[in-house]
Amino acid sequence: DGCSSLRLVLLECVGEENWVDSRTVYIGHKEPPPGAEAYIPQRYPDNRIVSSKYTFWNFIPKNLFEQFRRIANFYFLVIFLVQLIIDTPTSPVTSGLPLFFVITVTAIKQGYEDWLRHKADCSINECPVDVVQQGKVVRTQSHKLRVGDIVVVREDETFPCDLILLSSSRPDGTCYVTTTSLDGESSHKTYYAIPDTMAFRTEQEVDSLHATIECEQPQPDLYKFVGRINIYKDKEEPVARPLGAENLLLRGATLKNTQHIYAVAVYTGMETKMALNYQSKSQKRSAVEKSMNAFLIVYLCILISKAVINTVLKYAWQWSPDRDEPWYNHRTENERQRHVVIRAFTDFLAFMVLFNYIIPVSMYVTVEMQKFLGSYFISWDEEMFDEELGEGAQVNTSDLNEELGQVEYVFTDKTGTLTENNMEFIECCVDGNVYIPHAICNGQILSAASSIDMIDASPGGYRRDLFFRALCLCHTVQVKEEETVDGIKRGIHQGRPTSFYISSSPDEVALVEGMKRLGYTYLRLKDNYMEILNKDDEIERFELLHVLNFDSVRRRMSVIVKSSSGDYLLFCKGADSSIFPRVVSGKVEQVKARVEQNAVEGLRTLCVAYRRLSESEYEEACHHLMEAKLALQDREQRLAQAYDIIERNFVLLGATAVEDRLQEKAADTIESLHKAGMKVWVLTGDKMETAAATCYASKLFRRSTQILELTKKRTEEQNLHDVLFELNRTVLRQRSISGLSVDCLDFGLIIDGATLSAVLKPNQEGAGHGNYREIFLEICRNCSAVLCCRMAPLQKAQIVKLIKASKEHPITLAIGDGANDVSMILEAHVGIGIMGKEGRQAARNSDYAIPKFKHLKKMLLVHGHYYYIRIAELVQYFFYKNVCFIFPQFLYQFFCGFSQQPLYDTAYLTLYNISFTSLPILLYSLVEQHVSMETLRREPSLYRDIAKNSLLRWPVFLYWTCLGVFDAVVFFFGAYFLFDNTTFTSNGQMFGNWTFGTLIFTVLVFTVTLKLALDTHHWTWINHFVIWGSLLFYVIFSLLWGGIIWPFLNYQRMYYVFMQMLSSGPAWLSIILLITVSLLPDVIKKVLCRAMCPTATERAQVRCWHQLHLRLEVQIVLFLKLGCSCFSFSDF
């Protein structure tokens, strides 16, 4: 803010003409006439697109830098360097090799991808583009385009950079464009040429243009652009025209239904909006990741304390010199001369290196892989595919998969999310008289004639006709004449291929269609004239002078037209709250009553008003608008001011009612979410009554729900403080009662935007009243459903933020379909976009996008649940297996004089996490299903079992760690006693320390893998393959590793160790025994927990299991019976 205000001050000092952050584009590189303006040649990048990250020269350093920024790689690097510098127990190869492997493979992959990108860049940069130079079309390469070039683009070509439309082959100066590759919206959008240049037809004409464009510096918002064009005509003052987003053709968009256009380049290369838009969004982190990091810190502490303990013990033990340096084991002279502190520090580092595997570095790799691969199951899900839309669920980030299983609060938009956003015109009310177009009969809309009868039957007159005209004129609907248009068809008229309406707002289409059925047909916009076919089949023409576009703050839109009789008329339609205060006459009471009645029925209402403008009033309005539109700074704000001045003193005409049906299964979904323990909040900009009706219909509120109201109406009667406290008391009283009874009453809260901002406002009255925020949260906590109506987009995000920051820190999910939901989608822990009819912005900014609201159920209850239990097991298992791995090594130090002697061979140390135990857990975490999908969907309450990160809480973590320690103790001391007391082989030969380690390692690998097998509930062939396969791989590897004298190794310590071990009967027995003993406590714990206090999930598992067996039994019985009857028949 400080920055911008400073800039403002600067601006005012320098004068308005010299904007700091604007650019001047000289069209066709022609200098303006002398004296008009100083010619300041500005330097812009050329139109080269560089999507590649590296060049040939910086690839190695840059790529290495990028890779070592990852914690896992960096950890490896540090360990590796320590191993290189000091004399460590394990060779640098143990960490160097995996590191080198990872780095190289990643580098090769990234290098290859970058090479592909270079190639793609090249082909894009070199693709031909037609440029007008000296009145001729010259073909050049795309990357040679410069700002100011005039470009010719033909139909179905993609724009090579961001362009300002000068003229088009269409006579009205418009062109159609699809932005599918930019934002996914496949509808055709109309762009407009500058009126002064739209008449240009030939290159020569275009080239004769002498003008400059001033516009803002590039910024990533696709839907915003401010600029102006100054056109110089000989010796005259330059003509200035405003430029907006409707004049700017974006790179990446495609020209449709227009033969060719002339346009001038304003942003090129990496400054185009498309290039600016591909910067990554801020990262959201899941709760699982947070607990993972917490666990990691604990393990780091364990690692360090282990190293410290061992170092201290080492020096305590070595106090007597014959232990430090016994006669058979001398130091070298060098080592002897080293200072004791340095030696101790080196020892500490060596212990760190020896135990470093306790930090499951490979966990990061596996988790990333699991998330990345696992997210495919969402996009592959056939049930989440919508035939109508032709699209399935879409995963924009795979970081949050498991967060889907942790959601506690669901914030949902109403229109387009809960409802279809498929509007149908129901009725309109003019001056208290209600008009209903004829309903659909047999799926066919009756011809207009029959509805006209009805209108004629009712009293009416000038006002009524004006109302209908107002609705026919006050909109931004386009008429499409073609029968087929790519993408979604809106407002299709069956059997009438000639024309249909297209708009970004379904309400408008519904209204215009409704008017059509009432006898007033909007035909088209031609040369700025809107044509209407009135009920007498006469064409009326209105000149469209200005459109005051809709925005969600104003909540209304207006048009200014000039009728054929020369009257200036301002028509305005908008939400009742934004119209009524501006109305000066009209039958306000009747209309208001009707509007409220409709709202209660859940219909969307709009009010229509008009104002007759005199010539001078019109001029003034024009002046205001032009001034605002030409401004480069704060244009939005100025426009809003101008609109505010113009849109007043209305005469109320009437109101409309449009129905928006609920999406299919919306109620079922909400009910499931409730059962799953989620609190569902509906945040909508709609009126309270409409929204409440929808909430009842969608079962958000049930008949039994006690509704608490916190609305403006109520706070006007009492003050906010009292209302809040009263509600709080109600809620608390109920809770104390329901503490006894099981079937408690649930509460629903309705709050509106105005009250909400009052609640959230920091309390100025001092500490006496306490904080409203807390009381409000307390109330909300006890309500199962909350409806927030009349919300501005930013307020939606505020609510989400408020709940996120409350003291339980619940996980929130926001779901919406429109641009107004983007802020809340970005704010919530998980943002879900619905691929709706109001564009793709929500879907683009979301973490996951689904076609319909009903898919949320499967997304959360099935996918979320699965992902959560999978990743939770993955994380816990990783820590467990590394404890099992390293703890014996720790114990061994007590028996080898704290000399950092590794227990396992280097190969085992290196490969344990990489290959012996990695695949089973990865595949487990991809395919595990502890209960079937059907069960999860049927019993949403199972979701509560995993709420609050229940599988990754400290007690569970402690259990796993203790289990790991127990297993490690069993492995080590089992092997210890066997080695101490037994002769292993029948020929009396003895085993050495490597056999000892190998025995422990074998038990370890088998135990750890079998532990996973015990945890696996869903044995597909993949699990079988991977679990048994990895055990087999371990055996084969060990046979191979010990079977050959490896020439490149300078030691042969593993030679025949594994085979000798296998040749010994006692070794086999001890392996089996130790595995059994290690697995036993976990099995017992599982059985006991299941028997004593089964969770809902476990009960469901048992139920399923019984059903399955019952079914099997029935089948067997049937089969037997059949067999018997066959027998008896044959006997007969």
Structure tokens of 887? Answer: 């703890």
The two structure tokens encoding residue 949: 């990160």
Q: Is 413 annotated as a binding residue?
A: yes
Torsion sign, CA atoms 24, 28, 29, 34: negative
Q: Is 992 in the site for other proteins (CB under 8 A)?
A: yes
Closest CA to 839 of 226, 189, 192: 189
Measured from the CB atom, the residue of 390 and 770 that comes closer to other proteins is 390
> Rounded to whole angstroms, what are the CA distances from 778 to 728, 757, 1016?
7, 17, 41
User: CB of 1018: closest distance to other proteins in angstroms?
Assistant: 5
Residue 686 is labelled as binding a ligand: yes
The answer to the question of whether 773 is labelled as a binding residue is: no
Instruction: Give the Cα separation of 820 and 435 in Å (integer).
Output: 32
Q: Is 701 left (phi over 0), alpha (psi -120 to 50) or beta?
A: beta
- Does residue 684 have a known ligand-binding role? yes
Q: Contact with other proteins (CB under 8 A): which of 68, 725, 973, 979?
A: 979
The pair of three-digit structure tokens given for residue 198, joined into one six-digit string: 């739209």
Is residue 110 within the footprint of other proteins (CB under 8 A)? yes
- Beta carbon nearer to other proteins, 76 or 701: 76
Q: In this complex, which beta carbon is closest to other proteins, that of residue 390 or of residue 497?
A: 390
Is residue 123 a contact point for other proteins (CB under 8 A)?
yes
The CB-of-1069 to other proteins minimum distance in angstroms stands at 7
Instruction: Determine which residue in the list 1056, 1062, 1077, 1095 makes contact with other proteins, applying CB under 8 A.
Output: 1056
Catalytic residue among 207, 399, 413, 1082: 413
1037 is in an annotated binding site: no
One character per residue 877-916, x = contact with other proteins (rule: CB under 8 A)? ------------------xxx-xxxx-----------xx-
Q: For residues 13, 18, 21 and 27, what is the CA-based torsion angle, rounded to 10 degrees?
A: 170
Contacts of 365 (CB under 8 A, 6+ apart): 72, 102
DSSP secondary structure code for residue 279 in this structure: S
Does the active-site annotation cover 1131?
no
Q: In this structure, what are the phi and psi dihedrals at residue 752, rounded to the nearest 5 degrees?
A: -110, 165
- Residue 319 engages other proteins in binding (rule: CB under 8 A): no
- 834 binds other proteins per the rule CB under 8 A: no
Nearer to other proteins, 271 or 540 (CB): 271
> Which residue from 57, 237, 282, 328 is in contact with other proteins, where contact means CB under 8 A?
328
x/- letters, 250..289, toward other proteins (CB under 8 A): --x-x-------------------xx--x-xx--------
Q: Kindly report the backbone phi and psi dihedral angles of residue 174, in degrees, each rounded to the nearest multiple of 5, phi listed first.
A: -110, 165
Task: Provide Rg for the chain, Cα atoms.
Answer: 37
Length of the chain: 1132
Q: Which residue, 376 or 954, is less far from other proteins as judged by CB?
A: 376
Has 821 been labeled as part of a binding site? yes
User: Are 684 and 414 a contacting pair, CB within 8 Å?
Assistant: yes
DSSP 8-state symbol, 698:
T
Amino acid at 894: F
- Closer residue to other proteins (CB): 654 or 833: 833
Query: What is the smallest separation between the CB atom of 372 and other proteins, expressed in angstroms?
Result: 5
Among 321, 443, 581, 955, which residue sits at the site for other proteins (rule: CB under 8 A)?
321
Which tokens in the block code for residue 900? 């950092």
Report whether 971 contacts 1078 (CB < 8 A).
yes
The rounded distance, in Å, linking the Cα atoms of 841 and 503 is 16
Out of 450, 1052, 1115, 1125, the only residue in the binding site for other proteins (CB under 8 A) is 1052
Q: CB-wise, 317 or 725, nearer to other proteins?
A: 317
Q: Which is nearer to other proteins, 295 or 991 (CB)?
A: 991
Supply 974's token pair: 């089992």
State which of positions 920-939 bind other proteins (CB under 8 A). 927, 929, 932-933
Q: Which of 44, 74, 377, 725 binds other proteins (CB under 8 A)?
A: 377
User: Does 1055 sit near other proteins (CB under 8 A)?
Assistant: yes
Nearest distance from C-beta of residue 185 to other proteins, angstroms: 12
Tell me the closest approach of the beta carbon of residue 36 to other proteins, in angstroms.
37
Of 49 and 213, CB closest to other proteins: 49
Minimum Å gap between C-beta 1003 and other proteins is 15
Annotated binding-site residue? 415: yes
Using DSSP's 3-state secondary structure scheme, residue 344 falls into helix
The minimum distance between CB 1055 and other proteins, in angstroms, equals 5
Provide CB contacts within 8 A for 660, sequence distance 6+. 415, 419, 420, 421, 422, 423, 424, 603, 604
Interface with other proteins, residue 986, by CB under 8 A: yes
Q: Where are the alpha helices (DSSP H) in 326-431?
A: 333-337, 340-355, 361-374, 376-380
Please answer whether residues 168 and 178 qualify as being in contact, where contact means their C-beta atoms are separated by less than 8 angstroms.
Answer: no
Q: What is the DSSP letter of 524?
A: E
Residue 817 annotated as part of some ligand binding site:
yes
Alpha-carbon torsion, ordered 811, 816, 819, 824, to 10 deg = -20
With beta carbons less than 8 A apart as the criterion, state whether 587 and 637 touch: no
Structure tokens at 68: 């070592």
Residue 514's identity, in one-letter code, is G
Of the candidate spans 98-106, 589-597, 831-839, 1025-1033, the one that interacts with other proteins by CB under 8 A turns out to be: 98-106
Regarding 381 and contact with other proteins (CB under 8 A), the answer is yes
- Nearest-approach distance from CB 818 to other proteins, in angstroms: 23
**CA 263 – CA 889 distance, rounded (Å):** 72
Contact positions with other proteins (CB under 8 A) in 389-448 = 390-392, 398-399
Q: Judge whether 760 and 751 are in contact, CB under 8 Å.
A: no
CB of 383 or CB of 527, closer to other proteins: 383
* Interface mask toward other proteins for 447-486; x: CB under 8 A: ---------------------------------------x
> Between 38 and 57, how does the x/- string for binding to other proteins read (CB under 8 A)?
-----------x-x-x----
Instruction: Count the site residues for other proteins by CB under 8 A.
Output: 130
CA atoms within 13 A on the CB side of 810: 22
Q: Does 973 bind other proteins (CB under 8 A)?
A: no
Residues 838-857 that bind other proteins (CB under 8 A): none
Q: Is 820 annotated as a binding residue?
A: yes
Phi and psi torsions of 344, nearest 5°: -65, -40
What distances in angstroms separate CA 633 from CA 224, 341, 728, 741, one per listed residue? 13, 67, 47, 62
508 annotated as a binding-site residue: yes
Do residues 206 and 166 make contact, with C-beta atoms less than 8 angstroms apart? yes
Which tokens belong to 1001? 């390692």
Among 190, 452, 1018, 1037, binds other proteins (CB under 8 A): 1018
The single-letter DSSP state of residue 860 is I
Would you say 604 or 858 has its CB closer to other proteins?
Answer: 858
1024 and 923 in contact (C-beta within 8 Å)? no
The reply to whether 124 sits near other proteins by the rule CB under 8 A is yes
Residue 541: CA atoms inside 13 Å, Cβ hemisphere, count?
A: 7
Judged by CB under 8 A, the chain residues 58 through 97 that form the site for other proteins are 67, 89
Chain centre distance of CA 326: 65
Contact range with other proteins by CB under 8 A, out of 321-329, 675-683, 837-845, 1115-1123: 321-329
The residue (of 338 and 1086) whose beta carbon lies closer to other proteins is 1086
- The secondary element (H helix, E strand) that includes residue 1031 is helix 1021-1043
Q: How far is the CB of 688 from other proteins (least distance, A)?
A: 39
**Does 859 participate in binding other proteins (rule CB under 8 A)?**
no
Known binding-site residues for ATP equal 413-415, 508, 550, 573, 604, 684-686, 790, 796, 820-821
Known binding-site residues for Mg(2+) equal 413, 415, 817, 821
Known binding-site residues equal 413-415, 508, 550, 573, 604, 684-686, 790, 796, 817, 820-821
Q: What residues act catalytically?
A: 413
